[in-house]
Amino acid sequence: MPLPPFRRAPGAPPRARLLPRLLAVLAVVLATALAGPAPQARAAVTLTRVNDFGSNPGALTMYVYRPATLPAHPPVVVALHGCTQSAQTYADNSGLPQLADQDGFLLVLAETGTANNASKCFNWFQTGDNRRGQGEALSVRQMAGHAVTAYGADPQRVYVTGLSAGGAMTAVMLATYPDVFSAGAVVAGLPYDCTKDNSPYTCMNPGVDLSPAAWAQRVRDAYPSYGGPWPRAAIWYGDQDTTVVPRNATELRDQWTALHGLSQTPTRTTTIGPDATRQDQYLAADGTVAVEVDRVPGIGHGTPVDPGTGGEQCGGTAAPYFLDSICSSRWIARFLGLDTSDPGGTDPDPGGGTAACWTASNYAHVQAGRATTSGGYTYAKGSQQNMGLYNTFVTHTLKESPSGYFTLADSGCP
């Protein structure tokens, strides 16, 4: 996330001396932030621009990716790009359109521009844009509302995700419109309203340490008359991020676990994906995953992707801030309860306690995070049952119940 230049409010005095300084700092950040590999040729995703979705006080642009086939009353995922990016860049490299095709959801992409912010960042740090009923926050909410009415989508399954400034704006949307967004995923973002008494630069690095109760109160203050239920939140970070430091993952965890009345000690910890991403999950009393923190090893600031055609792969690295590691969009879709296309099985309620069945090779089970390997053998996560040799030839069915706990179910499932 490049440092966010402030948008001049109507009637505000010129800031001639501030702008050059901000642009100079921005240049340094952009020069040092971790970018992806060299661009690769890939076909652009076809997006449809929507011009009339509401009063649009935040002056944002709305795009929609609608799969060729959609179920009746599909879910909606609103995606928010990072600084220097566009809706098209995010669509082309995040892997979300591919998952929309597979899992049957409507994808809405919000876009900001240089008229709002010199670096094309969402203004997550400005009170005119991060409060309920005004600015960019209201524009994004109007996009979600338009998707429900114009496309017949399910108002109970509206979600939001985004990277960096878009990740920080995701936290804004969950806090200001908990009655609209039932869950979301913050990728390299920040806790809601960190800039209430801190500069955005301090919030990004070194970060701000508040108590879980203090962080949770800032969310409650965003919509004082609202009493719950609170949105579920997934938090994704690269453990080498120096732009928005990983401390923010801990503070985000504190904010959302406190809102849900949960301990800051994870209910369970596992590793997922090809790079052994650490996944901490915090379960509500009903067994649903209320909060999840995914810490990706060895990467800096960006969206974790895993280009390729495998069942657990997605995304591309044809633009900066898309980092080859793990298909975070796949796991985010799973957290949101959208992913029914995992190779070898289906998961009707990934965020809840419903039993799910998965049939695949031992290799695929390990890659999907359902099993581990040691000494050439494979073991089901949770039950630690021996599944035999770690290869692509031995196949088993695993039952997941509760979420994240797997047992052998070759004789029948569930």
> Is 164 designated active site?
yes
Catalytic residue among 164, 325, 328, 401: 164
Q: Residue type at 256?
A: W
Beta strands in 245-313, from DSSP E residues, in sequence order:
268-272, 277-283, 289-296, 303-305
What is the SS3 assignment for 189-213? CCCCCHHHCCCHHHHHCCCCCCCHH
| Dihedral angle of Cα 288, 219, 294, 102, to the nearest 10 degrees | 60
Q: What is the DSSP letter of 223?
A: S
CA-CA distance, 59 to 374, in Å (whole number)? 54
Q: How many residues does the chain have?
A: 414
Of 103, 54, 109, the closest CA to residue 77 belongs to 109
Peptide bond into 206 cis (omega under 30): yes
Q: Supply 152's token pair.
A: 């017949």
Rg (CA), the chain: 21
In contact, 81 and 109? CB cutoff 8 Å: yes
In contact, 161 and 332? CB cutoff 8 Å: yes
Q: Looking at the annotation, which residues are catalytic?
A: 164
